[in-house]
Amino acid sequence: MPNFMEQALDYAAHNAPVWLQPTVSEGRQVWEQQALPTRKTEAWKYTGVHNLRQPYAVGESTAVALKDLSLSLPDLGAYRLVFINGHYRAELSSEELPEGVELVRFAQASAEQSAEIAKYLGTIVSKKDHVFASLNDASLTDGVFLSIAPGVVVDRPVQLVWITASQTVAFTTTQRLLVLAGANSSATVIEHFAGVRGEQAAFTNGMTELLVQAGATLEHYRLHLEEGAAMHVGGVHARLLANATLNSFHLALGSALKRIDVVVDFQGAGAHCELNGVYLPRGEEHIDYHTCVEHAVPHCTTSETFRGIVGDSASAVFNGRIHIHRDAQKTRAELSNKNLLTSTRAEVNTKPELEIYADDVQCAHGATVAQLDETALHYLRTRGVSKAEAEVMLSFGFINEVVDGVRLDALRAYLRPLLAHRFSRDPQLARHLA
């Protein structure tokens, strides 16, 4: 295994809380026994990691204000925690939480809290199938544990913001979130990844675990809004018990390397998962989404929709797999991936998969790759719309259905103008969509 993370691994070995040391030690042992994926690794066939082969320093704490970083965060009416380069910033955060909701940082956990975290941490992640999950364990010094007590309905979203700020050397940060949604509880969690404007050699290794207990409902949003030079390899792993509901939305702007694995494991009958996503690489950016939904029990449902718009010389990968086990009778599952190429140089590799071993199921899957509709472009232009405006309007319309499915009004209002400006290099062209 290359030593590009050697400093971060050594830092974790000496600075992780005592109770976390077994996790760090085991993670390092697994990591050092594995090899970085190559183009010959099936799950990484279209995504190279050669850009990672450089030494990375540990992200340093910075006391600068957000305005000095030319960065503003949306007001989503949420309880908010902010980390810059992996370090917690209390003055930018709001820690007041309603009764029945506990938010604990790993680095400050009491003996009782650390025992509770250790009980669940890493229990739903396969280190063998996800090589960078072991790296996350091995470099872990802090993280966030969000626990919602049974029956509690959280009145406002909980927003976790992870910011990378420029430094003079290439640096890395490790993100870890563990959510335990107690039985019959209801909560909304927003993960917001952002970077400071300008080129920066930052590598984020992020992992989120969502444990949704019986009858609980969890709204989960993961927003990747980092700058173009950033690199992020991350994963979201969820386990659903009986009659649980997970509504998860993913958004990724492009960057030099972005690979996100999403794994949903049904372990209780009657559970439901809605999994939606949008990815928007441009320039020479690259985005790779791999999703895997494991239906191991009967009477569960999945609705999965991902849409991508790929421009310039950018590339994207989508691999969506729904695995229906032998005992998962009465399963209903749908998987759809649609892609729009706005340039003849843009590229997408899509592979929707259904693997079915039960005989009483309703399943469907499909994928499309297309370019802008010339007839629609012509229609708009004959009505006085410029070519540039028409392209922006059609591009936004391609993902509008998915964006409109965002249940949180404040977040949807924040995303619409952000995405509209993403499609147009001339901000004036986005005025009709914001």
Domain ranges, ordered by start, for the chain: 6-268, 373-434
pLDDT of 52:
85
Among candidate residues 365, 252, 221, the one with its CA nearest the CA of residue 317: 252
Please write down the long-range contacts of 357-361, taking CB distance under 8 Å and 24 or more positions apart: 357/324, 357/325, 357/326, 357/328, 358/298, 358/324, 358/325, 358/326, 358/327, 358/328, 358/329, 358/331, 359/329, 360/329, 360/330, 361/324, 361/328, 361/329, 361/330, 361/331, 361/332, 361/333
| Angle, in degrees to the nearest 10, between helices 387-404 and 409-423 | 150
Average pLDDT, the chain: 89
Burial label for 229, CB within 10 Å (0-12, 13-18, 19+), is: middle
Q: Given pLDDT bands bounded at 50, 70 and 90, which one contains residue 199?
A: low
Residues 6+ apart with CB under 8 A from 240: 212, 246, 264, 265, 266, 267, 268, 271, 272, 273, 300
Determine how many CB atoms are found less than 10 A away from the CB of residue 359: 8
User: Is 261:234 a contact under the CB 8 Å cutoff?
Assistant: yes
HSE (side-chain half, CA atoms, 13 Å) at 275: 26
Q: Is the pLDDT of residue 218 over 60?
A: yes
1-5, 105-109, 172-176, 200-204: which has the minimum mean pLDDT?
Answer: 1-5
User: Is 373:380 a contact under the CB 8 Å cutoff?
Assistant: no
E strand or H helix at 367: strand 361-371
pLDDT of 65:
66
User: pTM for this one?
Assistant: 0.93
> For residue 330, what are its two tokens?
């009465």
Q: Given pLDDT bands bounded at 50, 70 and 90, which one contains residue 197?
A: low
CA dist 243 and 217 (Å) reads 9
CA dist 119 and 218 (Å) reads 20
Q: Write the pLDDT tens digit of every residue in 278-290.
A: 999 999 999 999 9
CA dist 413 and 114 (Å) reads 38
Q: Is the pLDDT of residue 259 over 90?
A: yes
Among candidate residues 183, 113, 192, the one with its CA nearest the CA of residue 148: 183
Q: Is the pLDDT of residue 159 over 80?
A: yes
255 — phi, psi (to 5°)?
Answer: -160, 180
State mean pLDDT over 291-301. Answer: 98
Among candidate residues 403, 223, 409, 399, the one with its CA nearest the CA of residue 308: 399
Beta-ladder partners of 66: none
Whole-angstrom Cα Rg for the chain: 21
Q: List C-alpha distances in Å: 215 to 208, 271, 331, 351, 391.
A: 21, 8, 18, 32, 44
Among candidate residues 425, 426, 404, 428, the one with its CA nearest the CA of residue 415: 404
Q: Write the pLDDT tens digit of every residue in 376-433.
A: 664 556 666 666 666 666 677 788 889 989 999 999 999 988 887 776 644 444 454 4
Q: Given pLDDT bands bounded at 50, 70 and 90, which one contains residue 91?
A: confident
CA dist 398 and 391 (Å) reads 11
Residues 6+ apart with CB under 8 A from 191: 160, 162, 177, 208, 220, 221, 222, 223
